[in-house]
Structure 1
Amino acid sequence: MNEPEARAELVRLSRSLFERGYSVGSAGNVSVAVADGLLVTPTNSCLGSLEAGRIAKLDGGGRHVSGDSPSKEVFLHRAFYETRPGTGAVVHLHSTYATALSCLADIDPDNAIPPLTPYVVMRVGRVRLLPYLRPGDPALGDAIRALGGACAAVLLANHGPVVAARDLRSAVFAAEELEETARLALLLRGLPARMLEPARIDELERAFGPGAGG
């Protein structure tokens, strides 16, 4: 889509996330790729009340060229664009259940979101837990780069999820699926839950791709 369309879509989908409780206050940030750079939600902005003309724009080198100042966590977004070819959008939320899961001491750092349903495999894929660093610390971007593009989504310890996908709609859907699966994981905690077997996961990946919109 062209830049005006991308700005309008960013406003619309961000408002939808806010209105349905996936972000509160000024939490969370969203970006979308355009032909000559990135559009990023401004720092300290509310996803429920963005203005299309005030969305920050970065050029291909990451320099701020127009709009309000970009989110202080823009490095999370750039790390995905740099390491996962075909990334068209990134969504970072502080959604309740995924953030709660990120605070638990005993979740698997290599597979932080359990494969409970085929849809989390299809839309999100394997999620790595990254160690806690303060919000705004560029080292979080380095931690994502260190994955070498192996994951389309990560869970920041005590912070929340970051999801990349081929376009904004797919990134939003994947972030929603991650949150719903985190909710299921917490509801099932302590119960003898049945996970999808590795052969079933392989079957899904062969049929639908590696998750988060490919």
Structure 2
Amino acid sequence: MSEETKLRDKLCACGASLFRRGLTFGSTGNLSVALPDGGWLMTPTNASLGDLDPARLSKIDAAGRHVGGDKPTKEAFLHRVMYGKREEARAVVHLHSTHSVAVSCLDGLDCANCLPPITAYYVMRVGRLPLAPYHAPGDEALAADVEKLAGEHHAILLANHGPVVAGTSLDAAMYATEELEETAKLYLLLRGQRVRPLTCEQVEELREKHALW
């Protein structure tokens, strides 16, 4: 079995897992995984992540051109800029997961860091989470705003939209996205309560021991 075939199957399996667990719904969200030749495979437009066909995945070459499979998602530019700014990125996950989207709609967020360090695993897998300004779906102006943040952040929250997360593997990108969603859920559950987040010293210790790429 070729490496590309394995990646096609893996991408579809990950999409099905996310859909089955309610982290995506309808035809929302999109995934991509990098190919050895510098291109990547991506979920097509208007496709449910719960019912992907490995043979119909969009194939993008290293120059960003659509060279095979169904038409790619209109949000392909999110993936393009994440790969472009993060050389070690091997996968990108973008979801409209409920709790992350809910946080992205809140007024008064710290745009430099949307969620507090509630747990160690959030710090280890996500780190700081900046907020990119709102743009209508498919508006490529969002690419410029994400690009400004992607050099220093592998996870970005899009205002009134949802998270986009890059990882050194598809599993790593998924785990970070899931950790972000669970932390968003905790944050909403704890609103109005007295919360004891990790201290700056505890956060720095985690970053030193588990350096984010």
Q: TM-score range by the shorter chain?
A: over 0.9
Question: Could you say which residue in structure 1 is the equivalent of 2:210?
Answer: 208
Task: Choose from 146, 160, 163 the match for 1:161.
Answer: 163
Written as runs of structure 1 = structure 2, the 5 A alignment for 1:11-50 is 11-36=12-37, 37-50=39-52
Question: Could you say which residue in structure 2 is the equivalent of 1:10?
Answer: 11
- Structure 1 residue 68: Cα displacement: 0.2
- Structure 1 residue 181: Cα displacement: 0.1
| 1:101-142 Cα shifts (integer Å, max 9, x gaps) | 000002211111221000011011111111110010111111
* Rounded Cα–Cα distance in structure 1 between residues aligned with 2:197 and 2:107: 20
Secondary structure (helix, strand or coil) at the match of 2:70 reads coil
Task: Choose from 71, 75, 78 the match for 1:76.
Answer: 78
Question: Could you say which residue in structure 1 is the equivalent of 2:89?
Answer: 87
Which AA in structure 2 matches 1:9? K
* Rounded Cα–Cα distance in structure 2 between residues aligned with 1:121 and 1:135: 29
| 1:6-43 Cα shifts (integer Å, max 9, x gaps) | 00000001100000000010000000000120101000
Moved over 6 A (4+): none
- Structure 1 residue 209: Cα displacement: 1.1
State the TM-score, normalizing by the size of structure 2.
0.97
Secondary structure (helix, strand or coil) at the match of 1:18 reads helix
- Structure 1 residue 50: Cα displacement: 0.2
Which AA in structure 2 matches 1:32? V
| 1:149-189 Cα shifts (integer Å, max 9, x gaps) | 10011111110011111000110111000000000000001
Question: Could you say which residue in structure 1 is the equivalent of 2:56?
Answer: 54
Which AA in structure 2 matches 1:197? T
* Rounded Cα–Cα distance in structure 2 between residues aligned with 1:14 and 1:188: 30
* Rounded Cα–Cα distance in structure 2 between residues aligned with 1:199 and 1:135: 39
1:177 lines up with 2:179 in the alignment: yes
Which AA in structure 2 matches 1:108? D
Moved more, 201-210 or 42-51: 201-210
- Structure 1 residue 198: Cα displacement: 1.3
* Rounded Cα–Cα distance in structure 2 between residues aligned with 1:125 and 1:78: 22
Secondary structure (helix, strand or coil) at the match of 1:146 reads helix
Secondary structure (helix, strand or coil) at the match of 2:82 reads helix
State the TM-score, normalizing by the size of structure 1.
0.96
Question: Could you say which residue in structure 2 is the equivalent of 1:194?
Answer: 196
Percent of matched pairs sharing the same residue: 51
Secondary structure (helix, strand or coil) at the match of 2:153 reads coil
Which AA in structure 1 matches 2:46? N
Secondary structure (helix, strand or coil) at the match of 1:31 reads strand
* Rounded Cα–Cα distance in structure 1 between residues aligned with 2:127 and 2:3: 29
Secondary structure (helix, strand or coil) at the match of 2:149 reads coil
Unaligned runs of 5+ in 2: none
* Rounded Cα–Cα distance in structure 1 between residues aligned with 2:84 and 2:200: 29
Unaligned runs of 5+ in 1: none
Which AA in structure 1 matches 2:67? V
* Rounded Cα–Cα distance in structure 2 between residues aligned with 1:24 and 1:133: 21
